[in-house]
Structure 1
């Protein structure tokens, strides 16, 4: 059994922990000098030595660890992890049984009770993402549990944390029999070619599943769609299958071949669509100059991005990005505004939208809103974990 180090929590952080906030914040810890390299498990106490929770030490973003249990006598062992994983997998039972969707999240960090641990499922193959060194020390125990509970064909891992001062974002084959790549998975009967062995990103972001479906089923038919920051073109594929003509724009050189591949595995002639490798901000200027207008513009930028001439931060620059989109959206057209930035909430995001339309001297109507789908389980007590914000906006006439 691992040694458990006692940690004292400042009074103004106690209530948040008692209410179920699982993040152990650096500034909450009184005796922070107790957190040394050999420390993994910690017991949290208030200043009067009253037990609060049990967790582990692992630096991740603004946190210094995660709460695992509120039971003082609970043992963090193989049985603990088996219970957590089995419970999480049972919650996704309907997805496991749905032949139209074979790629989804089966374990979502603190939402499923273990912060820093993400597990995604791709048609029998699992990808485990470790977000700090603390949770990574349980690797062997968690992998063995996943083999027992998840019935995997194979397991891959992604290490996404600082190790010895170096940022680690690598992939490793861990267990099982490797598939041939690309591996073809389904999302609402649409094919995706994924590569579990190709760096940090596998080829599709699973959290936008309901948004893509809605675009295909309700908004795409007969429309011209601009998909910005398009990555491998997932939104474009769904729009095309819904009857749209699409233009995909991304700065990454490999977005061209990756997007073509996604069209091909769905039997779509990519030559009937535009796939452009270019800085999105430069493309906006080009579109204005050429007086291009689109029936739908999809904005799903990274929270932070840097090109040769421009740095984008969602928390500072999203309003201006929206103004660029408004300028090239047809009247009565749709803007799908999306962000995964957890530095602001949906209300603040809607303020950005309101400001952008006001400064563009246009009226608008909010049509649909989305946050994370149900397989991305979150906690009411940790709102930062529900990072996704998507709003469908109708551009109305000018003021």
Structure 2
């Protein structure tokens, strides 16, 4: 069931307007019009009080107000005393309803204005007609401007909300990529090493101890990266000054450390670096590091023991990262056939990172050479590195 409850501001405005109309009506005698009697007061109430509901039903209120005003004028009372409410009603319709409806209500007010002038033999019809055109038109124009401003404000608010939702979605995707890269890689190494330690625990204690040491180092590194991510996610006001500064994001300088860790997991990995090494933007280095990390994680999962090559090539304006499973006829590789072109989080993360920094990535079998290959090309020149690099710090 619909309930029409006027806003408090509109109710107070209607009461104030009625009070002013009654006070102004006391000047009717000085204007050569009959003094207000009970019927006059009732009609003034009918003209002004309905505006309390103008926001709920603007057109109906406008028609009701003008009908009461016509009766008030026909009874011979001074029209000016009841003119404020019709003006407010026309403005409200123009600010809330389509142009066709608001124009009709504006014409209605002008017509009633002319009708009041025709009933008064002392009126100058030229002045009355001019007022009947200018005042309704001005109120209509103010209402239309208010309607357009409100529409623009709503559109702006919707765009801001949509932008905020999109930024939240993008940030969630970035966090998901980071969590996947950290958890998947380190847990894969821990899983392989724990299996090795369990297998040789009794027969080869030194190897078991080495595997446990790798597990300890890997888990410590994973915890440190998780803590760093959590610190980045906390609001600045929540950080206390006693916390140590965030550790730098991993980059190509730690590539050898990651390769050594994977090699300890039983995968023969070789790292080659060609070209002139140079510092890269933090985001570019992180992108290359994460792609290598994901590729080696897939080696641990799908091709343990397969010889793998990680090659880093520094060019004049780009850096190329190559991860190749060179085992001929293995049937498995860096990216197994069942997930090439798939929708796994790792593949999505690789492609999104490459796209973010203006790079290209190819993932798939090596054709006649056998095995699988991941190739990432990232631009490093100042004109092509994006500003998002600095936000990855």
The two structures have a TM-score, normalised by structure 2, of 0.24
Higher strand share: 1
**Which structure: larger Rg?**
2
- Name the structure where helix makes up a greater proportion of residues: 2
